[in-house]
Chain A
Amino acid sequence: MKTPKVEMGAIRVRGAQNLVAGLSLLGLAAFAAWAASDLPLGRLGSMGPGMVPYAIMGLIALFALGLVANGFLKDGEGVALADYSAVILVAAIGVVALVAGASLKAAGIAQLWGYPPSVVAFCAVYLLVMVWLAIQAVRRPTWLDRSGLRGPIFVVGGLLAFALTVRTVGLVLAGPLLAVISGAASSETRLKELLIFAVAITAVCIVMFKYALKLPMPVLIIPGVIYL
């Protein structure tokens, strides 16, 4: 089947994937340009820190425009919301967290449990989202599988949980937590099997890293009580 060429007066999107790719890269270049706006360019004989990044951003923008044009001119692959839903959701949580963090800071709270308030806000909202998704996994599993949220949200959630607990509580918690949370990313997971497996590989890791290779890695910390 051949799509007709661009008709007069009607601009049609023919390769939505390339169009979205081009627009995202334009966004990336613009974001980077904003982030680098304070960097001096310098001159050729002594380049400033900004010169090379700006040159790269310019080229990215150029190619991005090419992709956008391509999206209008040539037939290509389409897009589905489910492919990007997770990234959009995480970005939205990030924005909410930044706003919440800024208002907490304005209210005079500079730190919560040793972290900046925006980080705490991000984790809290993310946790809520995960709980909600977990409920959906029981109630509407097919919807969840099709939404494109399940894999990325739970895997990233597991990684965040690991990062938060590995130094504060130790591997004993961080390992199984990561395995169990990320396990929810697959509809084939069986909880009991996963629990046993998670404990087993964590034990293997502790023996191998902490005791065989003597890497400095906290295994279990309960403040004032135990430090392994």
Chain B
Amino acid sequence: MKSYMMAVAALALAVGGAQAQSNYPERPITMIVPFAAGGPTDVVARIVGEHMSRTLGQQIVVENVAGAGGTTGITRAAQANADGYTIMMGHMGTHGAAPALYPNLKYDPAKDFAPIGLAAGTPILIVAKNGIPAKTLKEFNDYAKANADKLNEAHAGVGSVSHTTCTLFNSQLGIKPNRVAYRGTGPALNDLVAGQVDYACDQIVNLVPQIKAGTIKAFAVATPQRNPALPDVPTTIEAGMPDYQVSAWNAIFAPKGTPEAIVTKLTGALSKALDDEGTRKRLLDLGADIPDANGRTPKALQQLVESEVGRWTPVLKAAGITAN
């Protein structure tokens, strides 16, 4: 009987909920992650989402909607009600490279969203098989130019982080290697360790254990500062390629038109999560960068999206890559 009364009460609350926006959130929030459970974006979403749930007093339920390089899930999330109960974890691909890769994209990363804030970035690392004689980025550059017709680069499929970031790397170096596509980072890494392919660019988290074990070697990390997980690996600035600064960032967005008050509340909860000791440690273990207070605002995220779209579009167009 008691539970029945509670159900009636809940129903009444839900009916009244439409006008009571100030009490947000009153029911669980769905966070759409546009990739399968267990992937790097999913991991970041769950780590951050868990602490945000505690701040908001309502569960953040992760819904994995994978497909088409993440654009399937983001398209669905962009069309959801802008009531703050559907948010999404976007990333460098879905909100940076996608407009160049998918000409039929149904959303505009810069216009169709209410940015909440940047959650984390994972730096990109340039690695090569042990069989390559080069020891530094400079030597690799010379080696790549001298052996341009023999060079094989491994990536995790068109549109993946390893693919887009390496496209930029190749164009900045001015080399055109044969690009070998793999279904995911795992198989690509396998062939890199086995020496079937020569080099790759990928997120640091996948590579640290291999570098520490000496099965592959790292030339540079594409961030201004060295990464605590690999203190011996120089930055691209130190290694003489200062323009190559890339990171696979993850950020939370809401659909366009989400009320200001709700956005502020979510941004606050995200920022609080990023200040939490436990959450920070789990993200840092992944090799992630955590944005400082200035980098967490909706405005900063909006600028990041605009600059990323501006950066990737010409690079990918020039390389003649589209996903349709």
A and B touch in the complex (CB under 8 A): yes
Chain A min CB distance to B27 (Å): 7
- A46–B27 CA distance with the chains assembled, in angstroms: 53
- Within 8 Å CB of A226, what residues of B? 11, 14-15
- Within 8 Å CB of A46, what residues of B? 178
> How many residues on B have C-beta within 8 angstroms of the other chain's C-beta atoms?
11
Instruction: Say whether A108 faces chain B, with CB atoms less than 8 Å apart.
Output: no
Chain B min CB distance to A79 (Å): 39
- A46–B179 CA distance with the chains assembled, in angstroms: 10
How many contacting A-B pairs (Cβ < 8 A)? 16
- Within 8 Å CB of A227, what residues of B? 14, 27, 85
- Within 8 Å CB of B63, what residues of A? 216
B15 near A216 (CB under 8 angstroms)? no
- A178–B301 CA distance with the chains assembled, in angstroms: 44
- A225–B11 CA distance with the chains assembled, in angstroms: 8
- Within 8 Å CB of A9, what residues of B? none
Is the contact region of chain B dominated by helix, strand, or loop, or is it mixed?
A: mixed
- Within 8 Å CB of A216, what residues of B? 30, 61-63
A224 near B18 (CB under 8 angstroms)? yes
The residue in chain B whose Cβ has the minimal distance to the Cβ of A214 is B61
- Within 8 Å CB of A224, what residues of B? 18
> Which parts of A186-228 form the interface with B (CB within 8 Å)?
214, 216, 224-227
Chain A min CB distance to B183 (Å): 15
- A98–B61 CA distance with the chains assembled, in angstroms: 38
- Within 8 Å CB of A214, what residues of B? 61
- Within 8 Å CB of B27, what residues of A? 227
The residue in chain B whose Cβ has the minimal distance to the Cβ of A216 is B63
- A224–B11 CA distance with the chains assembled, in angstroms: 12
> Which parts of A37-85 form the interface with B (CB within 8 Å)?
46
A225 near B15 (CB under 8 angstroms)? yes
- A75–B18 CA distance with the chains assembled, in angstroms: 71
- A214–B63 CA distance with the chains assembled, in angstroms: 11
Chain A min CB distance to B319 (Å): 14
The residue in chain A whose Cβ has the minimal distance to the Cβ of B64 is A216
The residue in chain A whose Cβ has the minimal distance to the Cβ of B63 is A216
- Within 8 Å CB of B15, what residues of A? 225-226
Chain A min CB distance to B104 (Å): 14
Chain A min CB distance to B28 (Å): 9
B61 near A225 (CB under 8 angstroms)? no
Q: Mark B62-79, 1 if CB is under 8 A from A, else 0.
A: 110000000000000000
Chain A min CB distance to B17 (Å): 9
- Within 8 Å CB of B62, what residues of A? 216
- A224–B27 CA distance with the chains assembled, in angstroms: 13
- A225–B15 CA distance with the chains assembled, in angstroms: 5
- A225–B81 CA distance with the chains assembled, in angstroms: 13
The residue in chain A whose Cβ has the minimal distance to the Cβ of B27 is A227
- A226–B30 CA distance with the chains assembled, in angstroms: 15
The residue in chain B whose Cβ has the minimal distance to the Cβ of A46 is B178
A225 near B14 (CB under 8 angstroms)? yes
- Within 8 Å CB of B61, what residues of A? 214, 216
Chain A min CB distance to B87 (Å): 13
- A224–B14 CA distance with the chains assembled, in angstroms: 8
- A216–B27 CA distance with the chains assembled, in angstroms: 13
> Which parts of A169-190 form the interface with B (CB within 8 Å)?
none
The residue in chain A whose Cβ has the minimal distance to the Cβ of B31 is A216
Chain B min CB distance to A184 (Å): 32
Chain B min CB distance to A209 (Å): 13
Q: Mark B16-51, 1 if CB is under 8 A from A, else 0.
A: 001000000001001000000000000000000000
- Within 8 Å CB of B11, what residues of A? 226
The residue in chain B whose Cβ has the minimal distance to the Cβ of A114 is B79
- A96–B39 CA distance with the chains assembled, in angstroms: 43
The residue in chain A whose Cβ has the minimal distance to the Cβ of B18 is A224
Chain B min CB distance to A170 (Å): 14
- Within 8 Å CB of B18, what residues of A? 224-225
- A172–B8 CA distance with the chains assembled, in angstroms: 17
Chain B min CB distance to A182 (Å): 27
> Which parts of B56-111 form the interface with A (CB within 8 Å)?
61-63, 85
The residue in chain A whose Cβ has the minimal distance to the Cβ of B79 is A114
- A227–B26 CA distance with the chains assembled, in angstroms: 11
Q: 12 A-B contacts, Cβ less than 8 Å apart?
A: A46-B178, A214-B61, A216-B61, A216-B62, A224-B18, A225-B14, A225-B18, A226-B11, A226-B15, A227-B14, A227-B27, A227-B85
Give 13 new A-B contacts, CB below 8 A, not counting A216-B62, A225-B18, A226-B11: A46-B178, A214-B61, A216-B30, A216-B61, A216-B63, A224-B18, A225-B14, A225-B15, A226-B14, A226-B15, A227-B14, A227-B27, A227-B85
Closest 4 CB pairs of A and B: A216-B63, A226-B14, A216-B61, A224-B18
